[in-house]
Amino acid sequence: MPAVAGRDLRPPLPPRGRALPTAKMAAGASGGGVARGVVGGCRLLLLLALGRAAAPPGGMLYPRETPSRERKELGGLWSFRADFSPGRDAGFVHRWYRQPLRQTGPVIDMPVPASFNDITQDPSLENYIGWVWYEKEVLLPLRWLQDDLNTRVVLRFGSAHYYSIVWVNGVQVVEHEGGHLPFEADISSIVQGSPGIPCRITVALNNTLTPHTLPPGSIQYMNDKTRYPKNYFVQNIRFDFFNYAGIHRPVVLYTTPSVYIDDITVTTTSSESVAMVQYQVSVVGSTLYSLSLSLRDQEGKVVATGDGPAGELKVLNPKLWWPYLMHENPGYRYSLEVKMQAQANGVLLEDVYTLPVGIRTVHVTSTQFLINGKPFYFHGVNKHEDADIRGKGLDWSLVVKDFNLLRWLGANSFRTSHYPYAEEIMDLCDAYGIVVIDECPGVGIKMPESFGNKSLQHHLVVMEELIRRDKNRPSVVMWSVANEPASELPPAAYYFKTVIAHTKALDPSRPVTFVTDANYALDRGAPYVDVICVNSYFSWYHDPGHLEVIPLQLTTQFENWYKTYQKPIIQSEYGADSVPGLHSDPPLMFSEEYQKAMLREYHSIFDKKKKEYVIGELIWNFADFMTNQGTTRVLGNKKGIFTRQRQPKSAAFVLRERYWKIANESSCLPPITKSHTLFLK
Ligand code: GCB
């Protein structure tokens, strides 16, 4: 992505309550002053100014039903109201959370999970910036409320974009900064007083991006009265996907006993004949409890047992977690059942949580990426959470279709470009053996002020939240802390040194990277990564139309990076837009033929360099996706090998041939047949 002109983007904050009549999204718009403020956001600004926020304490176990835990889905239709008041602050001034939202003014039905942008015909909602309000009334099962001291009721959001404040029956229960990651609140004390009465959940969400959010952005007021209406502003972003917002992932209520298993951390080591599963369990609610653990295989047989809050389980002849196409039974997971017993209020409380555990190891050498001691080559894709109508909202049909397409393609991996994906998607990666480079929302970090202390502290918190969520996933083999930051800027050195060191301290078991498009000689973050992940668009953004330059430029790229760092390299993005159905021979840009020809040029060099130190290739992109409007985007980014509706373009067949060939060459299995493997699971 070309950078936005680097001028000073720091005029003063807009006055409080300033009228904001028209909001439009724009990347790199110019012509006015930029405000650092959050739209309707004196409140948020205050919060962000408070300094180093720590990730909320405690665990973030996925809410599973177990013998001691129930779960109630809150998906479906919610009431919705965007705050179109001039300062976007009417909801706070008039305390919309204190009454049913419909009593505050007109509401519409809004599906959850979904982005709100594409649901109506209203362009001002599609491009809305500021606070929106969601509300749902729920009746809780009486049994949750009867033994009021012993049942804990938790309200959990899989994610909401980007700043969330939640009230239950008018009482604020949680605030959370950032999209893409879960947050929750114990609401027991609020709901237990009123059995039989619907409980009202109100959510205020603000999608404004500032230089200190992740991803960063800035609000720009267009002050030239000869060109723009009064108080006109745009949200500038430096990333290339539509800035969808809303409640994007499942909202659930779940229960635990009042003394409960709060977190479990598992790491694994293994040799051929024996594996060790190291565990740590934290319990909240009492210091007097007992813990017992049993590890079962997929036949239900107990293979190891343990007790206490920390220890090691020994597994003889372990069945390892293998990537898709590397083993005939990929994605093997044991079940770790953790049982806690405690006395509280004169009764015996028992909590049970079952965690899937994959046993595998990851190591990086100067030329290889090893999974279970065997060289692993990433032949995969970059994706987006993106679809028409629902935007970034979780959609099971789309999720399952995508996994079927990935396996059809022979892809063994993807990067969660450019933010953490839904836990439900990650579960399927674990189950199918799809290897993941897990990326945080550090995309578009370009402005100098986004490398300051405030941004850095927030980035550290986001990494804490990401690792807390995904640390036990066997599919996650590497953390990516950013995509294409301005890593050539002087403050990038300290910034990435700190973020990467923090990530490694939180999780010493996985390598860490960030994805760069900077010049190898100027990049100040690369010294700290374990694997070099590099993006390049030769013959597209550079030398457009000149496919013949690819072999030389790509070879030079790899050789420069390797000679500088002696670290293995992944081509983490390469691609070309193609408009499906547009043909041209000889190949011209935007035709399906050009996309195919570009692939072939890149592949010839990958084939040479993968014998040395190139350890992977991830196409940009799996599917077409929506972006801001712009002169280089035709209803979005068309670099997908599938259309947005998941139909293959010609390039998909080229990639499929290649990926299956690589899988067959590198597999220790008898030749894998395409159809056979697709239906392995
Ligand atoms: C990139 C970015 C990705 C863009 C892509 C493109 O380098 O990482 O987010 O979508 O290029 O197509 O411009």
454-457 long-range CB contacts below 8 Å, 24 or more apart? 454/48, 454/49, 454/51, 454/212, 455/211, 455/212, 455/214, 455/216, 455/495, 456/495, 456/498, 456/499, 457/51, 457/52, 457/53
81-107: pLDDT as tens digits? 999 998 899 999 999 999 999 999 999
How far is 508 from 370, CA to CA, in rounded Å?
A: 16
pLDDT, residue 440, reads: 98
Is the confidence at residue 212, as pLDDT, over 80?
yes
**Whole-prediction pTM value?**
0.93
pLDDT, residue 672, reads: 65
How far is 289 from 307, CA to CA, in rounded Å?
A: 11
pLDDT, residue 95, reads: 98
pLDDT, residue 56, reads: 67
Is the confidence at residue 55, as pLDDT, over 90?
no
Average pLDDT of every residue of the chain: 91
pLDDT band at residue 44, thresholds of 50, 70 and 90?
Answer: very low
**CA of residue 521 to ligand 1 center, whole Å:** 21
Q: Which residue from 237, 637, 638, 641 has its CB within 8 A of the most atoms of ligand 1, so it is best to mutate?
A: 637
> What six digits make up the tokens of 434?
């799809």
Is 602 close to ligand 1, i.e. is its CB under 6 Å away?
no
Ligand 1 atom at minimum distance from 577 CA: 12
pLDDT band at residue 677, thresholds of 50, 70 and 90?
Answer: low
Is 535 close to ligand 1, i.e. is its CB under 6 Å away?
yes
pLDDT, residue 146, reads: 79
Q: Which of 331, 338, 330 is nearest to 304 (CA)?
A: 338
Protein residue with its CA nearest to atom 11 in ligand 1: 1
Find the mean pLDDT for residues 303-328. Answer: 97
Protein residue with its CA nearest to atom 10 in ligand 1: 240
Q: Are 264 and 313 in contact (CB under 8 A)?
A: no
**What phi and psi, each to the nearest 5 degrees, are found at residue 516?**
-115, 150
Looking at 139-153, 272-286, 394-408, 427-441, which range is the least confident one?
Answer: 139-153
| Element housing 620 (H / E) | none
**CA of residue 388 to ligand 1 center, whole Å:** 19
**CA of residue 144 to ligand 1 center, whole Å:** 48
pLDDT band at residue 666, thresholds of 50, 70 and 90?
Answer: confident
Cis ω before 418 (30° cut-off from 0): yes
**CA of residue 415 to ligand 1 center, whole Å:** 13
| Element housing 460 (H / E) | helix 453-470
Is 483 close to ligand 1, i.e. is its CB under 6 Å away?
yes
Strands 131-138 and 199-206: what pairing?
antiparallel
Percent of the chain whose predicted confidence (pLDDT) is above 70: 89
pLDDT, residue 264, reads: 98
How far is 443 from 436, CA to CA, in rounded Å?
A: 17
pLDDT, residue 420, reads: 98
Ligand 1 atom at minimum distance from 483 CA: 8
Is 637 close to ligand 1, i.e. is its CB under 6 Å away?
yes
Q: Which of 373, 31, 53 is nearest to 226 (CA)?
A: 31
Is the confidence at residue 551, as pLDDT, over 60?
yes
Distances (CA, A) of 446 to 4, 508, 619: 9, 28, 23
Percent of the chain whose predicted confidence (pLDDT) is above 90: 86
| Catalytic residue (one of 423, 439, 465, 484) | 484
Distances (CA, A) of 211 to 42, 129, 480, 497: 15, 15, 20, 20
| 333: DSSP letter | -
pLDDT band at residue 231, thresholds of 50, 70 and 90?
Answer: confident
Protein residue with its CA nearest to atom 7 in ligand 1: 1
How far is 565 from 616, CA to CA, in rounded Å?
A: 17
Q: Which residue from 557, 573, 622 has its CB within 8 A of the most atoms of ligand 1, so it is best to mutate?
A: 573
Q: Are 206 and 494 in contact (CB under 8 A)?
A: no
**CA of residue 652 to ligand 1 center, whole Å:** 19
Q: Are 27 and 51 in contact (CB under 8 A)?
A: no
Protein residue with its CA nearest to atom 1 in ligand 1: 1
How far is 340 from 263, CA to CA, in rounded Å?
A: 12
pLDDT, residue 11, reads: 27
Find the mean pLDDT for residues 193-208. Answer: 92
Catalytic: 135?
no
Find the mean pLDDT for residues 409-415. Answer: 98
**CA of residue 565 to ligand 1 center, whole Å:** 24
Looking at 69-78, 266-275, 473-482, 522-531, which range is the least confident one?
Answer: 266-275
Ligand 1 atom at minimum distance from 484 CA: 8
Looking at 7-21, 355-369, 522-536, which range is the least confident one?
Answer: 7-21
**CA of residue 485 to ligand 1 center, whole Å:** 12
241-255: pLDDT as tens digits? 999 999 999 999 999
Protein residue with its CA nearest to atom 5 in ligand 1: 1
Find the mean pLDDT for residues 648-675. Answer: 85
**CA of residue 578 to ligand 1 center, whole Å:** 14
Residue appearing with tokens 């690369």: 526
Is the confidence at residue 395, as pLDDT, over 50?
yes
Strands 413-415 and 435-439: what pairing?
parallel
Is the confidence at residue 202, as pLDDT, over 70?
yes
Q: Are 514 and 496 in contact (CB under 8 A)?
A: yes
Protein residue with its CA nearest to atom 2 in ligand 1: 1
> What six digits make up the tokens of 205?
């969400």
- What is the number of residues in the chain? 681
Protein residue with its CA nearest to atom 3 in ligand 1: 240
Ligand 1 atom at minimum distance from 625 CA: 10
Is the confidence at residue 18, as pLDDT, over 50?
no
pLDDT band at residue 32, thresholds of 50, 70 and 90?
Answer: very low
Q: Which residue from 533, 535, 589, 620 has its CB within 8 A of the most atoms of ligand 1, so it is best to mutate?
A: 620
Q: Are 77 and 110 in contact (CB under 8 A)?
A: yes
How far is 157 from 136, CA to CA, in rounded Å?
A: 13
Q: For residue 174, what are the β-bridge partners?
A: 166
pLDDT band at residue 17, thresholds of 50, 70 and 90?
Answer: very low
> What six digits make up the tokens of 493?
């050195």
589-624: pLDDT as tens digits? 999 999 999 999 999 999 999 999 999 999 999 999
417-468: pLDDT as tens digits? 999 999 999 999 999 999 999 999 999 999 999 999 999 999 999 999 999 9
Is 1 close to ligand 1, i.e. is its CB under 6 Å away?
yes
Amino acid identity of residue 218, one-letter, is S
More confident residue, 541 or 145: 541
Residue appearing with tokens 């674990």: 430
Find the mean pLDDT for residues 366-386. Answer: 98
Is 639 close to ligand 1, i.e. is its CB under 6 Å away?
yes
pLDDT, residue 669, reads: 64
